[in-house]
Amino acid sequence: MAFPVLVRPSSLHFQTNSLNKIFSSPTRSVLKSPKYFTRWVSDIPAKSLNFALSSTLALGLSLTGTGFAEAKVGVNKPELLPKEFSPVIDVAGFLTPGQEIRLAQEIADLEKDTGFKLRVLAQNYPDTPGLAIKDFWQVDDRTIVFVADPTFGNILNFNVGATVDLDIPRSFWSRLAGKYGNMFYWKEKGEDSSIEAAVMAISSCLKEPVGAGNCSEVQ
Q: Is residue 184 part of a domain?
A: yes
Q: Is residue 60 part of a domain?
A: yes
Between the two ends of the chain, the Cα-to-Cα distance in Å is: 16
Q: Is residue 2 part of a domain?
A: no
Geometric angle at alpha carbon 6, from 14 and 177, rounded to 5°: 75
Q: What's the mean pLDDT in 65-83?
A: 66
Q: Is residue 3 part of a domain?
A: no
Record the pTM: 0.72
Q: Is residue 147 part of a domain?
A: yes
Amino acid making up residue 53 = L
**pLDDT level of residue 112 (50, 70, 90 thresholds):** very high
Q: Could you give the CA distance from residue 53 to residue 173 in angstroms, rounded to a whole number?
A: 11
- State the pLDDT at residue 219: 78
Q: What's the mean pLDDT in 11-24?
A: 41
Question: Cβ distance 65 to 20 under 8 Å?
Answer: no
Domain count, the chain: 1
Q: What is the pLDDT of residues 192-218, one digit of tens each?
A: 999 999 999 999 999 988 877 788 888
Q: Residue 135, exposed/middle/buried by CB under 10 A (0-12, 13-18, 19+)?
A: exposed
Instruction: Please check the confidence at residue 145 and state whether its pLDDT lies above 80.
Output: yes
Q: Is residue 158 part of a domain?
A: yes
What CATH number should be reported for the domain holding residue 114?
3.10.310.50
- State the pLDDT at residue 203: 96
- Helix (H/G/I), strand (E/B), else coil: 75: coil
Between 47 and 137, name the one with better pLDDT. Answer: 137
Share of the chain above pLDDT 90, in %: 58
H or E element that contains 208: none
Q: Is residue 213 part of a domain?
A: no
Q: Could you give the CA distance from residue 55 to residue 65 in angstroms, rounded to a whole number?
A: 9
Q: Could you give the CA distance from residue 57 to residue 173 in angstroms, rounded to a whole number?
A: 15
Instruction: Please check the confidence at residue 33 and state whether its pLDDT lies above 90.
Output: no
Q: What's the mean pLDDT in 130-143?
A: 95
Geometric angle at alpha carbon 47, from 177 and 23, rounded to 5°: 65
Q: Is residue 11 part of a domain?
A: no
Q: Which domain holds residue 196?
A: 16-206
